[in-house]
Structure formats: structure tokens, C-alpha cells
Amino acid sequence: MKRAIVLYFTTLIVMLPLDFLFLGVIAKNFFQSQVGPLLGDVRIVPAAIFYLGYPIGIVIFASYAAGQNWQHALLYGALFGIFCYATFDLTALALLKGWTWPVTVVDIIWGAFVTGASATLGLLLANLVLRPD
């Protein structure tokens, strides 16, 4: 149980700044130019539910599945990210008139990267924290 809690928090502290940097700085203008009319003010409660819940999925489907192997955490994390982000983006592309293919592709690639990186770095950090003295 202790390992799961440490994995959760180390994954969370990796994922949050990466995603905020990407969405708030790096890709902000891209998303605004592509789907700006669909974007509104951030709704805090759904955002918080996502950011607190998604790392649970990363831990269950990537970190635990990988055991101690960071390469497996990277692979399983990237795959989990592809499936999760593709579910959202392809559904949005199918249903939302203003959603674009470029946003779909960029966001799925980002999902693979941020989830793989979060699973891997979260695992490595957890191993450091839990290392026996």
C-alpha cells in the first residue's frame, strides 16, 4: 500500500507541471488557433477530477504493470496515454464540428509522451524514495 501511495504522488508531481507547461505555454497558441471557439474558461472541478484521477490509471496500468522496470513503465505508460487520449480526441473529432485532425494528432502524441514520462519518472522517483537505507 505504501508503494502505491508513493507511486501515485511521484507520478502526480511529474505529470502536473509537464501538462501545465504544455497546455499553458508550449501548445497554447496552437490549440487556440485550431479549436479556439470550442475553448472556454477552465472548469476547476472536472479538471481537478481528471488531474487527481489520471495518475491512478497510470499507476495501475503502467507503473504496477512494469514492476521495477522503467523501460516497461515507459512503454505501458505511452500505450496507456495513446489509448486514453485517442478515446477523447477521436470522440471529439467525431462529434464536435470544430475539432481538427491536427489537434487530434498532436494531443494523442502528447498523451503518449506525458503519460510515458510520468509513469517512468514517477517509478524512478518512487524507487528513490522507497530505497532501503
**Is the pLDDT reported for residue 132 higher than 80?**
no
Per residue in 107-120, pLDDT tens? 999 999 999 999 99
Count of domains in the chain? 1
Q: Phi and psi (nearest 5°) for 96? A: -100, 120
Question: How large is the C-alpha radius of gyration of the chain?
Answer: 16
Cα torsion 114, 45, 2, 72 to 10°: value is -20
Q: Which residue has the cell 470522440?
A: 91
Evaluated on CA atoms 65, 71, 77, 80, the torsion sign reads negative
pLDDT in tens, 52-86: 999 999 999 999 888 889 999 999 999 999 999 99
pLDDT of residue 109: 98
- CA nearest 13: which of 107, 110, 128, 121? 121
Domain boundaries, position 6:
2-130
Displacement of CA 100 from its chain's centroid (Å): 20
Between CA 102 and CA 108 the distance in angstroms is 10
